[in-house]
Amino acid sequence: MEEHLIVALDASSMSAMEKIVLALGDSVSYYKVGMELFYATGGQAVPCLLQAGKKVFLDLKLHDIPNTVGQSMAVLTGLGVSMLNLHAGGGLTMMRRAREAVDKASAGNGAKRPLLLAVTVLTSIGQEEWQNLHMPGEIGAQVVHLAQLAQKAGMDGVVASPQEAASIRAACGREFLIVTPGIRPAGSAESDQQRIATPRGAIRAGASYLVVGRPITGAKNPTAMVQKIIGEMGD
């Protein structure tokens, strides 16, 4: 189960990132680099992790006109990361353009194509916030709709709450990837997440990868927390 755990590097400097990676050692092979760390380090966090033999999920959630997203995705493909993402809300054309650009960039440099994920609805959004946005219906129905749209556009999978994982799996099949943030081991604080689940619950619902940040990076013993989460996933 180790390869299905992605640790989110909630850090704003190279030194803070390196401290986390050093503390976790060989217990973690896959890391998520989000906007805070990527922007703070000028993107240098990515090659640093790759040189250390780690896999990287670059979580920048692109959302713009199709041409801009396509060109940006082509550039990011050259970094050598394992996963890239964008917002499904950008539409079918934007997602298709991204897939085309990544395919072309990968073929051009002879590298393995990174997996492409579409973000459905952020796990920080609950039903009250959903209504504040004047969005129709329930969050779950929209998440499944966006997942199906992403699949139609050629995305490899989606980023979605573990609470919607089972519905996405039923709608999109066994091969479609579901990457779930909002994972909280038993006894952990919810923080700013709304639609959450335990590691065991997320895997049972059909999640492919679990993204866990603060419960690990903020733990007194991060390595022990990693093993606890992997144990829950294995259960």
Is 64 an annotated catalytic residue?
yes
Q: Which residues are annotated as a binding site?
A: 10, 32, 59-68, 123, 184, 193, 213-214
Other beta carbons within 10 angstroms of residue 108's beta carbon come to 11
Residue 61 φ then ψ, to 5°: 50, 60
Environment class of 107 (CB within 10 Å of its CB; exposed 0-12, middle 13-18, buried 19+): exposed
Binding residues for substrate, by number, are 10, 32, 59-68, 123, 184, 193, 213-214
- Does residue 61 carry a catalytic annotation? yes
Active site residue 26: no
The residue annotated as part of the active site, out of 55, 64, 103, 104, is 64
From the candidates 61, 152, 220, 235, which is the catalytic residue? Answer: 61
Q: 159: part of which helix (H) or strand (E)?
A: strand 157-159
Q: How far is CA 181 from CA 8, 165, 185, in A?
A: 9, 11, 12
Active site residues: 59, 61, 64
